[in-house]
Structures are given as C-alpha cells and as structure tokens.
Amino acid sequence: MIYHMLPKPRWQGQSHTMAYMGDTLESEGFIHCTGELDRLIWVANHFYRSIMDEFVILCIDESRVDADIRWEEADGHRFPHIYGPLNLDAIIKWVDFPRDANGVFSSPMSL
C-alpha cells in the first residue's frame, strides 16, 4: 500500500471516469506518494500544515497502478513516485486526514 494526500475539495471534484493527474504530474513529471503512513504524517505536518483545507488520503494498491512507480530517495528516505496518471481502480479507498485545531495532522483511526 502506498499513500497520497490531497485537498478534499480537489478529490471531491475528481472525475469518476478519468485518471487522477495530481498537482505535480505536469510540473514535476510524477505524483508524490509515501510508502509509510508515519512518513505521510511527517510530510503533511512539515509541508502542508499552513494550508487550512481539509485533506484526504488515497490508499493505493501499488500492484494495480498502470503507470511506472519508481522508489526514489529524498531527504534520506525512499518515496514512491508515480510517473503517469493514476488509474482510479488502483485506489483501494480514501479516508479523511484528521487534524487538530492547530492544523496538526494525525493518523486516521480507519488506517
């Protein structure tokens, strides 16, 4: 299982018939993901805490992704990057990404 976070309004506006493109596929060439939930929470609190939107986590079955996935190092950790559109049938489920009144993200109870 790999994870990708995004603002809930963007996910709610996602077409149910078109692949998910993410916000970095065009600009960086891949969709950012993490391989561990703890690392996702760390990333969220270090890079997205000031964005006060609600967020969701996509839970992705790596074996079902049609695009190339490359595990690449960044900041001393390995991250899965999806090099192409994400086919929706690879998304097993999505869950709300909880945060407290100060904007601090925490692990969803359902994961």
Going residue by residue through the chain, which has 111 residues, state the pLDDT in tens, using 9 for 90 and above. Answer: 999 999 999 999 999 999 999 999 999 999 999 999 999 999 999 999 999 899 999 999 999 999 999 999 988 899 999 999 999 999 999 999 999 999 999 999 888
**What are the Cα distances from residue 110, in Å, to 19, 49, 94?**
25, 21, 10
Q: How far is the CA of 101 from the CAs of 62, 70, 74, in angstroms?
A: 33, 36, 30
Which pLDDT belongs to residue 110?
A: 86
pTM of the model: 0.95
What pLDDT, on the 0 to 100 scale, is given for residue 111? Answer: 83
